[in-house]
Amino acid sequence: MTLEIVKDTNHIPQLVRKLQDVSDPEIKVGVLDDAEGGTAEFTLAAVAAANEFGAKTKDGKERIPPRPFIRPAFDDDETQGKIAKALNRIFLRGETPERVVNAMGQLMTSAIRRKIRSGVKPLNAESTSKRKGTPRTKTLRHFGRLIRGIDYEII
């Protein structure tokens, strides 16, 4: 039996230093506060929150069931893999952290839009489907305002 010793190089400290050089960027991803497409009654961000977490009437009855589309997009294995690859580019290609942060914002925006297009359950109620004139499976996509309102901002 032969043993081979492999030297493993840990690049995490270098990654941390490079990311700190970007002056601690933060990315806001989702429906931003100033997104266009809301109504006179509700901002698009409020509509997104009501769909992400659900909404109840004043007497506690469920008005809108939760249809999470942001959180699952972040948890998706495909998205996690793409984020890891984006971070890897800092080392492998010498990408600047600023470019990687922008790429991550675009990646997350695309992931959320993809989740919405996939048809987030639960299905629309028959009455909702009839009122909107859309199939029950076409949740969160009636006018397309929500999907167009997904964006990112580096702060």
Question: Residue 128 CA to chain centroid, in angstroms?
Answer: 25
User: What residues have CB less than 8 Å from 114, skipping those under 6 apart?
Assistant: 73
Q: What is the pTM of this model?
A: 0.78
> Has residue 31 been placed in a domain?
yes
> Has residue 138 been placed in a domain?
yes
Domains contained in the chain, number: 1
**Predicted confidence (pLDDT) at residue 9 exceeds the cutoff of 60:** yes
> Has residue 48 been placed in a domain?
no
Work out the number of other CB atoms within 10 angstroms of the CB of residue 79.
Answer: 20
What is the reported pLDDT for 56?
94
> Has residue 43 been placed in a domain?
no
Task: Determine the average pLDDT of the residues in 45-60.
Answer: 93
Could you list the residue range(s) of the whole structural domain that residue 21 is in? 12-35+69-154
Average pLDDT, rounded, for the chain? 84
Q: Which residue has the higher pLDDT, 94 or 113?
A: 113
Most confident of 73-77, 89-93, 118-122, 132-136: 118-122
Q: Which residue has the higher pLDDT, 109 or 24?
A: 109
> Has residue 112 been placed in a domain?
yes
What is the reported pLDDT for 42?
86
What are the beta bridge partners of residue 31?
150
> Has residue 6 been placed in a domain?
no
> Has residue 96 been placed in a domain?
yes
Each residue of 96-150: pLDDT tens digit? 777 878 888 999 999 999 999 999 999 999 998 899 888 888 899 888 999 999 9
Task: Determine the average pLDDT of the residues in 18-24.
Answer: 63
> Has residue 5 been placed in a domain?
no
